[in-house]
């Protein structure tokens, strides 16, 4: 499970025209959707300026390969945000990844929504929220699975809400993601009619 959040977006959004903001997020999340599709990772939802996606391991598949695909998406997201400033202001992405089982389903009576729940989702969210800008923070489980194929820097113990102190790592590898089309943000203007 990968959570990614735009650092500094909320304060910048307060100073941005609504049309410009919606157009920016549409383009940005569209590029992130393409990165997910290229890696066979499923977008679950966006929550404001936060993006959540999941890599499913097929029956008989390799959890290591799935985790690498999710890290490839995180790396692509960092590249996408670096090439798409909002009104000439560069933003940064803070990402978090954890692996494990989830419960998934469709909920609602009037507006159906597919979602995932569980401790894995909560830990991935905590990795993002306790992480640092321009980095992907991962749990010990991700590190243990990928330490022979990815580069990581040990962060030390991070106090994780509901879990206490946990050892975390920052992924340092430029991943081997295939070229994902990354478009630079054009100048936006909106004239009132």
Examine the residue annotation and report whether 109 is marked as an active-site residue of this protein: no
Examine the residue annotation and report whether 126 is marked as an active-site residue of this protein: yes
- Other Cβ atoms less than 10 A from the Cβ of 50: the count is 16
Kind plus residue range of the DSSP H or E element containing 80: helix 63-82
CA angle 155, 90, 45 (to 5 degrees): 70
Out of 45, 90, 161, 163, which one is annotated catalytic?
Answer: 161
Out of 45, 126, 154, 163, which one is annotated catalytic?
Answer: 126
DSSP secondary-structure letter at 111?
A: S
CA angle 137, 140, 146 (to 5 degrees): 85
**Cα distances (angstroms) measured from residue 25 to each of 72, 105, 133, 165:** 21, 26, 18, 34
Which residues are known catalytic residues? 126, 161
């Amino acid at each position: 499970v990968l959570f990614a959040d735009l650092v500094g977006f909320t304060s910048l959004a307060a100073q941005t025209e609504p049309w410009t903001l919606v157009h920016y997020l549409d383009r940005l999340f569209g590029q992130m959707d393409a990165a997910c599709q290229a890696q066979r990772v499923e977008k679950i939802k966006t929550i404001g300026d936060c993006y959540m996606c999941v890599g499913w391991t097929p029956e008989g598949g390799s959890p290591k390969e799935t985790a690498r695909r999710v890290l490839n998406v995180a790396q692509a997201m960092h590249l996408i945000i670096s090439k798409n400033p909002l009104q000439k202001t560069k933003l940064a992405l803070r990402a978090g990844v954890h692996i494990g089982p989830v419960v998934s389903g469709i909920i609602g009576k009037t507006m159906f929504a597919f979602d995932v729940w569980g401790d894995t989702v909560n830990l991935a969210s905590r990795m993002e929220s306790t992480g640092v800008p321009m980095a992907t923070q991962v749990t010990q489980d991700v590190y243990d699975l990928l330490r022979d194929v990815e580069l990581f820097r040990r962060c030390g113990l991070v106090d994780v809400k509901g879990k206490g102190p946990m050892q975390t790592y920052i992924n340092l590898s430029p991943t081997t993601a295939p070229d994902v089309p990354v478009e630079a943000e054009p100048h936006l203007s909106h004239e009132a009619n």
